[in-house]
Amino acid sequence: MSNRWFLRIALLATLLGAGVVVLGAYVRLNDAGLGCPDWPVCYGRLTWPSDEAAIAAANEAFPQRPVETDKAWKEQVHRFFAASLGVLVLTLALAASWRWPARRNLLIGASLAAAAGIFAYVGGLIPLAAILSLAAIGLPLLGAAFWQDSWRARATAGLLGLVIFQALLGKWTVTLLVKPIIVTGHLLGGLATVALLWWLTLRQGRWLEHPSAPGTRPERLLTVLVLAVVIGQIALGGWTSTNYAALACTDFPTCHGAWWPEADFGEAFVLWRGLGIDYEFGVLDNPARVAIQLTHRIGALVTLVLVLGLAAAIGLRSRNPAARGIAVAAGALVVLQFALGVANVLLSLPLPVAVAHNGVAMLLLLSLVTLTHALYPRPQVAS
């Protein structure tokens, strides 16, 4: 595959991945994560039950989860888009490694193991499905670790392993009844996939690179630090959403009229509560949800200050013109994100605002990935 076509597919995969993340937020915020009680099918069907006979049969087969068609189609359409993204990532990985037969065969073997694992799971062969899944994830990650002579082969192999793991997280989201740590991990995995695809696109296209004016060491360190803080804040946002704590406080900047209301931090961040618990609509009492909301607010303030500080430091002082523009864009995005967060509280979490809050978080993350790319130009080495 030519470099031009590789770049086009990488860009298409990035755009599709961004759409999958936003669609996932839409599904989650519509409480449709359990719209299909099984995986990868939906009530035993490739699509979802829609006519009366199919709905009646599905309700008989799954009495614990009666069909809600408006939720079922959203969940299954999200799965279709995610599967399409997986096909594009596999295409990129094969294209990057095609000239090495052993590498090509390893990636094909991993993909076949993933497919066989799905069939084994559907057929009830759970131990075999687990072994095949481990092979499907582990083989590409081995390539990413050891294929030192091709950055494209390493990057795309790692992406393939990540996407297969994302599929497992999607399955566990359903089978573990939207357990918060799983759903939050699924969100972070989706964002990591989009960020890596965007980085791959930037590197392949050599966009926004200025080798004559690379970033200084302090600029690079500050950018990486702020990027880490943003990732942490996104994780806090995911934890807030998956524990249904977004409306634990309905006023701002206070919470229940107090600057520091009753809050249970001990219960708020218990990552694992065992199996068999249905987490739909949350299991925490209000003080624990308040603790999550307060932590997210503090994180939002820290993130706002640091991103604006980064925007000022690089936007005003950097010798790299691309970095200056990207830093200013990141500053604008963090202000917009903060405003959307406040609007979510004051307007009682309207769906368009809540989805936009997720989307802008992704854009903020991508802006910092872009800034990192601009400050670390790729050396002139073989692909």
pLDDT at 138: 97
List the catalytic residues: 75
The type of residue at 243 is N
DSSP character string of 171-220: HHHHHTTS-HHHHHHHHHHHHHHHHHHHHHHHHHHTTT--TTSPPPHHHH
pLDDT at 24: 96
Question: What one-character DSSP code corresponds to residue 67?
Answer: -
Query: How far apart, in whole angstroms, are the C-alpha atoms of residue 159 and residue 193?
Result: 7
For residue 42, the cross-strand partners are: 45
Q: 194: closest CA among 103, 113, 88?
A: 88
pLDDT at 376: 86
Residue 42: what are its φ and ψ, rounded to 5°? -130, 105
Domain spans in the chain, listed from the N-terminal domain onward: 1-205, 212-383
pLDDT at 282: 94
Q: Using one digit for the tens of pLDDT, what is the confidence trace for 340-358? A: 999 999 999 999 999 999 9
Task: Pick out the chain residues at pLDDT < 70.
Answer: 212-213, 378-383
Query: How far apart, in whole angstroms, are the C-alpha atoms of residue 182 and residue 165?
Result: 12
Tell me the CB-side half-sphere exposure of residue 269, using CA atoms within 13 A.
Answer: 12
The answer to whether the CB of 185 falls within 8 A of the CB of 169 is yes
The answer to whether the CB of 368 falls within 8 A of the CB of 227 is yes
pLDDT at 381: 46
How many CB atoms neighbour CB 42 within 10 A? 23
Q: Using one digit for the tens of pLDDT, what is the confidence trace for 107-153? A: 999 999 999 999 999 999 999 999 999 999 999 999 999 999 999 99
Q: Rounded to two decimals, what is the model's pTM?
A: 0.94
